[in-house]
Structure 1
Amino acid sequence: MAVVVVLDIDETLREQHSLTIEVRSDDAGMPVAVAAIRRTLLRLEATGAAGEPVGPAFVSTPITLPGAQLLVIDFGPLPAEHVLAIPELLVQQLRDAGVRDALVSVARRGPSRDIEEFGASARAYLRGPLGAPFGDAPCRLPPPLLDVALDWLHAERAPADELSAVVLGVRVPLTADAAGSATAAVLSTLPTATAVTLLSGDLTNRLVAATVGGYHEVLPAAAFTVAPPHADPADLAGPMHRLRDRLRAHSGLLAWAGVNAEPDSRRVTTPQWSQRLPSDGKPVTRRPGVEMLANELIPDAMWYQILSAGHLDRLGGLPPGATPLPGRRAELTVGDAEQWLPGNPDALAVLARGRELLAGCLVDEAQAWQMTADRIRNATG
């Protein structure tokens, strides 16, 4: 094998002005070579329409995956003739660095369509303690939630299931032993708001996924998902109970967490909660994102939630039915898991009951914006 570049730059330019380059090689010199490629790309310069110097808008730090390196490039105002010359530049850079065998291509997109073909899912949302300047927790990489994710993933997956990671839309295989170190390395080099999704199996029998990321140093977040293929939503009650048990075991690491049944398997590769319509499709009061306020507010009522001291202060103590947990935390389960499943006739009633019990931790969009602005101002002012 030689240095082979199969970038279809021309086609990419017709669709978009950015791309993710994947360099695959087992050569030990790859990290140094890709770092040199990045420096060269950053130095690319041309003359703009007004005579000003222009270059790429963004070139990411190299992202190391098993057997591969990724570079995310936004060409910005760089003229097409300069962009079209990049494949030849990459070949020369790799050869100059002494790399003899490498395959350079536009990164293949991950299995998002396969994931979305699963139906209803059991999902857990996790928020770690806020780091400085928004909270007192130390900013750590890798985030502690990665250990929780690995613990859950290894417990949930079948022994023969292979593991893989989805990073910036690229899926790469992992061994069970390397999953933790590889994910930690990726999180340490990714843009702050990016997440890594770990998948178990080949997506033919069921979906088992753990996503870790968000603003992982300051606002650590994760989401765990289980979905059977085209099965009765009743099959989700068991996974919901297992998710609850796993969160309870790690409650000391959590500022907030919740377990719910979702009507679909979209947004698995993001750890953020998103608004869903109830099973009858009727409009509901919009619930805002409260990631920066996770130690005081919740996104919505769910079947199971872990609440920390800030939530209990806003509620004036333990809500009815809640059970204390160590570290001034509490857990609350509302109804039976089956009642929260899509299509269950009790779904709206248990949702309303949950909102009633946790009303002190629910705000509208305007309040959330104001509280978030106040927290940013206090942290930076």
Structure 2
Amino acid sequence: MTALTADQIARVKATVPVLAEHGTTITKHFYKRMFAHHPELKNLFNQTHQQSGNQPETLARAVYAYAANIDNLGALGPAVSRIANKHASLNIRPEHYPIVGRHLLGAIVDVLGDAVDQPTLDAWEVAYGQLANIFVGTEAKLYQGAAWSGFRPFKVARKHVESDEITSFYLTPADGTAACGFEPGQYVSVTRFVDKLGVDQPRQYSLSDAPHGKWLRISVKREDGREDAAPGHVSNLLHAGVEEGTIVHVSAPMGDFTLDRKKTTPVVLMSGGVGVTPMTSMLSTLLADGSERSVTFVHACRNSRVHAFREWLNETVASHPNLKRVVFYEAVDAGDRKGIDYDFEGRLDVAQIADRIIVPDADYYICGPVPFMRAQRDGLTALGVDAARIHTEVFGSGAVE
């Protein structure tokens, strides 16, 4: 690998203001350009995020961050780990990186024209090669440790409605072998062919049960769509078109948002909406391990109609003295029972429950919509929690930072 010279590092850093101004324009053009030359790659990318602009904006932020930290790549370590796990879950391989690099540099030329000179382009070519090698090396280790390569056929052994919006799918290997192990908090990619788009589409779903070898369970929220967001292609196909006995194709478990099972210190699991799924896996695993750790399960949703795993959580709390729960309903229904279905009305406010969740040496695991996670992280930090003890998970094209 060719090393960046001091002049090339300076040239890359000098493009930071340009990327701040034109980054999204460049990345939108990049995707359009790449898909025109390689339409087969549409199978690897969430086309809904392409159409909404979320994916180009995310890539623009990533390119900007890389340029800004080109002389301090250690600062990108957590982001590299998270992105590499997503890539490995989607089966992105070394041969894809030259294609991306060629069209990313081509998009820079197409958008900026004479505003970027050849030495700067040469510097970016070397910088991209450096970044690609980092990802290829990181992903090679993930593939080496994976339970299988690519997408493997699984049968839907059971389908269970958890709430008005969330349904669980119990997946067993189609060849009859045992389900693989995984770390609680990890996810798999499930791919389905979307007629409307004419391509396969992968989506990532957290595993929502303990790793016990019987099945892999995913619990999927049906995305009905809103004024600012289209309906979810794959979630609707799973809810309406996938029944028990159906074969789906699944990637090996990936993800670095995982419970540290070696610790004995307290755990606070915090979720919003469908973010409850990795938390049920973490809690189920602690129970299966016979852990005596103090656990507080904090969940926020709209009301009981969309409160997945409600009965399971209540029964689990009742039978485990080391487990406590705190539930917030934002819009309480007439039949919702305080103290049984929920504990507080309104949005989750960590300051309101500080006496229940601020525990010495506790680790805090948070999953939910990005604004929800930001609010909980900022609230915990304001209450004196060390940032190193706050762990968050992000799907799609969001970012907590």
When normalised by structure 2's length, the TM-score is 0.27
The answer to which structure has the higher helix fraction is 2
* Normalised TM-score (structure 1): 0.28
Return the structure number with greater strand share.
1
